[in-house]
Amino acid sequence: MARTTRRWLLLVPFAFVLVPFPWSRGPVALSRSSGTAQQQPTAPKYDLLLRGGHVIDARNNISAVRDVAIANGKIAAVDAKLNPSDALKTVDVTGLYVTPGLVDIHAHTYTGTGERASYAGDNSVPPDGFTFRVGVTTVADAGCAGWRNFEDFKQRIIDRSKTRILAFINIVGNGMRGGTYEQDLNDMEAKPTADMAKRFPGLIIGVKTAHYNGPEWAPVERAVEAGTIANIPVMVDFGANKPERPVAELVTKKLRPGDIYTHVYSGLRGELDPSGHVNPGLIEGRKRGVIFDVGHGGGSFLWRIAVPAIKEGFLPDSISTDLHIGSMNTGMKDMLNVMDKFLAMGLSLDDVVAKSTWNPAREIKQDGLGHLSIGAIADVAVLRLEKGRFGLTDMYGARMDATERLMCELTVKDGKVVYDLNGVSRPDWQTLPAGYGPIGDGRWDGLNPARVTTPGTQRGRGGAPQAATPIRR
């Protein structure tokens, strides 16, 4: 034992002292063995900093140039000037608009079943191909699934998509499968619909009734009953226009405050009276607290309805697309195209953004979305307002000329870049080493982060570290 001790004592004078390199950063620490200064790296305060953009945040009444910082998937700071040295990644967005991630509360995404002519099948679209590229980070599927097939929708689409998908559950148990399914009053049951909604709180955010062609009020009444049991709003696509159930009675007597009437500018159900003015019932319904949503779609928006309504001050509460295969290439191109139409009709950019972010988030009781408050989910859209000569068309192909339109430059979801139109978050390739590989970091990059950062880990979907999987031979 004595010999071992002597050997240890002889080694002490030759202990290494770590001297910091002059270009390293971080606080200085003292070595216990020698008292010599030792530099330790410091983690950056922010993962991502969007610098110099014009922030529009309706909830917080901000419309001004601000820097927006993100850390751990949350908004960390919004200020007139933040220090770029505090951020792992800084992106200059000067001259662009920075908004919360857009929230589209009327889309159809239950696809992949192979069922023809069905919104629980071929009529719906895979959301990821239509959302991030226009700044949308959250959609609410508008009733494609009912209580009988919601779990299939969840595992098939919701759980596998990068887009955040919430859902209105259809009062029809079989969902929006068309034809006889949506006309079957026997399959419209409040209790199983509400029970399924209560099984998935925060995911099922409302009840939908749609496309009914009969004269009965039963679909609306049962949807409202289910919504009352589950404490969630109802969205109504009112189907065929029937004298037995006029739209004025729907919004003044049948719907509750907070329920949503979509397709408000379709003109298909008496939204304007015979004199061309807004139906007084809609005005009274708004006073009662009923919400009026755009739901443009392939057949639910006309200039000859929207323009006079807006001139009379009847603006929508929320802007939405009604995205599906029959609308995606017609008058309704995408969320930004619908927003452009309201800019062309005289609404301010601040108002259009509010109706595409904070308003719809509140309507579906998702107060964690649609704003840039400190601690909020870091969903962000970076938009360019282009000036020029553009044309915007309604459901019948009538054009309105426009002088400006919105384009999406960058989309951030849960704190990670998921879309970058012009590479504003990327370095010029000529500045990189020969043979370069993925250059992003999984803390901010959801597109192509470097795969390995720590021995024994690899990058999974979205850049999040995960345990390495043994290779089976």
What tens digit of pLDDT does each residue of 198-238 get? Answer: 999 999 999 999 999 999 999 999 999 999 999 999 999 99
Write the pLDDT tens digit of every residue in 365-423: 999 999 999 999 999 999 999 999 999 999 999 999 999 999 999 999 999 999 999 99
pLDDT recorded at residue 451: 73
Q: Mean pLDDT across the stretch 286-291?
A: 98
pLDDT recorded at residue 39: 61
| CA proximity to 38, closest of 15, 61, 58 | 15
Q: Any bridge partners for residue 420, and if so which?
A: 410
pLDDT recorded at residue 410: 98
Q: Mean pLDDT across the stretch 25-50?
A: 62
C-alpha 441/C-alpha 303 separation (Å) is: 46
Answer yes or no: are the C-beta atoms of 282 and 292 closer than 8 Å.
Answer: yes
Q: Mean pLDDT across the stretch 346-362?
A: 98
pLDDT recorded at residue 38: 56
Q: Mean pLDDT across the stretch 344-363?
A: 98
State the pTM of this model: 0.88
Write the pLDDT tens digit of every residue in 121-136: 999 999 999 999 999 9
Write the pLDDT tens digit of every residue in 415-463: 999 999 999 999 999 999 999 999 899 999 999 998 754 444 433 333 3
**pLDDT for 29 beyond 80:** no
**pLDDT for 145 beyond 50:** yes
Write the pLDDT tens digit of every residue in 49-106: 999 999 999 999 999 999 999 999 999 999 999 999 999 999 999 999 999 999 999 9
**pLDDT for 30 beyond 60:** no
Q: From the CB of residue 84, how many other CB atoms can be counted at a distance below 10 Å?
A: 15
**Reported confidence tier of residue 42, pLDDT bands at 50, 70, 90:** confident
Domain boundaries, the chain: 2-39, 102-378, 430-463
Q: Any bridge partners for residue 330, and if so which?
A: none
Q: Whole-number mean pLDDT of the chain? A: 90
Write the pLDDT tens digit of every residue in 243-264: 999 999 999 999 999 999 999 9
Lowest mean pLDDT among 5-14, 107-116, 380-389, 414-423: 5-14
Q: Looking at domain 102-378, which of 3.40.50.720, 3.40.1790.10, 3.40.50.10090, 3.20.20.140 is its CATH number?
A: 3.20.20.140
Write the pLDDT tens digit of every residue in 73-89: 999 999 999 999 999 99
pLDDT recorded at residue 40: 62
**Reported confidence tier of residue 241, pLDDT bands at 50, 70, 90:** very high
**pLDDT for 16 beyond 50:** no
**pLDDT for 4 beyond 80:** no
C-alpha 118/C-alpha 144 separation (Å) is: 9
Q: What percent of the chain is modeled with pLDDT above 90?
A: 85
C-alpha 389/C-alpha 383 separation (Å) is: 18
**Reported confidence tier of residue 162, pLDDT bands at 50, 70, 90:** very high
pLDDT recorded at residue 371: 98
C-alpha 53/C-alpha 292 separation (Å) is: 31
pLDDT recorded at residue 6: 38
